[in-house]
Structure 1
Amino acid sequence: MPSNLKIILASGSQTRCMLLERLQLKFTTDPADIDESPLPDETPKQACIRLAASKAEHVQKRHPDALIIGSDQILECNGAMLGKPGNATKARAQLQTISGQEVVFHVGLTLIAPHGRRDWYEAVRVKMRQLDSDSINTYLQREQPFSCAGSMRSEGLGSALVESMHSQDPSAIMGMPMIATARCLRELGVDPLAG
């Protein structure tokens, strides 16, 4: 692997930037801006894997000599996919839907470098607290989670909505599994702990 390999995060997400900064690597961002609509008959797992790959592939076309990181997250509740709500009305409806439910955050990850590719999938199972209208209104007012899958901003006040969580990678609930990201980077020759 060339020592001057540029790392690009195919996202404009502040949370994903913050997560990647934890690895103390130099990187830039280039949001993919792709259509994130699910395909007909696509499962949440299939959708997040496809979207993570599509984001990385889209940005890789603009930066063929770089290492591109793409990630996507979809929340599933009772078989339904909940994406980014976009506004308070849809966010309120999503939070009412997931209140007291067991949900799954499906997270896809794709890293593409000139010399290889890694794909990863992580499922985070979450038991949501029972939420009343006041709690939902307070959460929406303080967090404004309109660009978060299922209106769930777990890196902030969203953690107060959770009863319990089960995952091999705790950061995955924030939209990018960092244990897997570090592993895939190492496999592609970029070791965050290298001197």
Structure 2
Amino acid sequence: MSEIEPTRRLVLASTSPYRLQLLRRLGLAFHVSAPQGEEIIDQGIAPELLVRHLAVQKARSLKDKYPDALIIGADQVFVDARGHVLGKPGTFERAEEQLRLMSGKTHMFYTGLCVFDSQTGEIAADYSTYRVRLKNLTREQIHQYVRRENPVDCAGSFKVEGLGIALMERLEGDDYTTLIGLPLIKLVEMLEHFGISVL
């Protein structure tokens, strides 16, 4: 698929290779830049507010670097069956621990999305959810999965677009790209709001 040069510069405020791959599906030319600032997960904030805030924060962090652009920010947290907000595990050990706690239970992913017009200051922001139920997994299955897939940079400790699908019993939601980290259905709507037509 050939890329279309949009009427405004598009910037993805993310270092995530998964978000990069998803945004490429829309066939629009865009730049990628690492967002500035520290990502802090506050357990006292409702997850839908937290991910929306983090997505806005990421997009706005690049306003000085890109003063005339539409900047896309996204962030994701995972809420386990106990109601705890979890981020990326960071290590094999923490990934295995997260998966042991998740085994046989239903959990929710929240993905925040923002498109920020750095020229006018206008912000479009929202969030999407996706529900997942994991199979009853043995310690050995979890260990093998983590060693093979290395999901330490993924909220929930799995990559559903890869071998992580083998952990699943059921997936429920309106847009599966929410689970991967960039809800494309909402993003297309937001870009249209700013005058960027994907089609």
TM-score (norm 1): 0.93
- 1:30 has 2:33 as partner: yes
1:67 corresponds in structure 2 to 70
The question of 1:176 aligning with 2:188 is answered no
- The unaligned stretches of length 5 or more in structure 1 are none
Q: CA deviation at 1:192?
A: 1.1
The answer for the alignment partner of 1:82 in structure 2 is: 86
Q: Could you tell me which residue of structure 2 aligns to residue 106 of structure 1?
A: 110
3-state DSSP class of the match of 2:156?
A: helix
The answer to whether 1:138 aligns with 2:144 is yes
Correspondence for 1:12: 15
Residue 4 (structure 1) shift: 4.5
The CA deviation at 1:33 is: 4.2
For these two proteins, the number of residue pairs brought into alignment is 191
More helix per residue: 1
2:124 paired residue number? 118
Normalised TM-score (structure 2): 0.91
Distance in structure 2 (CA, Å) of the matches to 1:50 and 1:146 = 23
Q: Which runs of 5+ in 2 are unaligned?
A: 1-5
User: Deviation at 1:37?
Assistant: 1.7
Does the residue aligned with 1:151 lie in a helix, a strand or coil?
A: coil
Alpha carbon RMSD of aligned pairs, Å?
Answer: 1.3
Note if contact 1:117-1:188 (Cα within 8 Å) is conserved in structure 2. no
Identical amino acids, percent of aligned pairs = 35
Runs of 4+, deviation exceeding 6 Å:
none
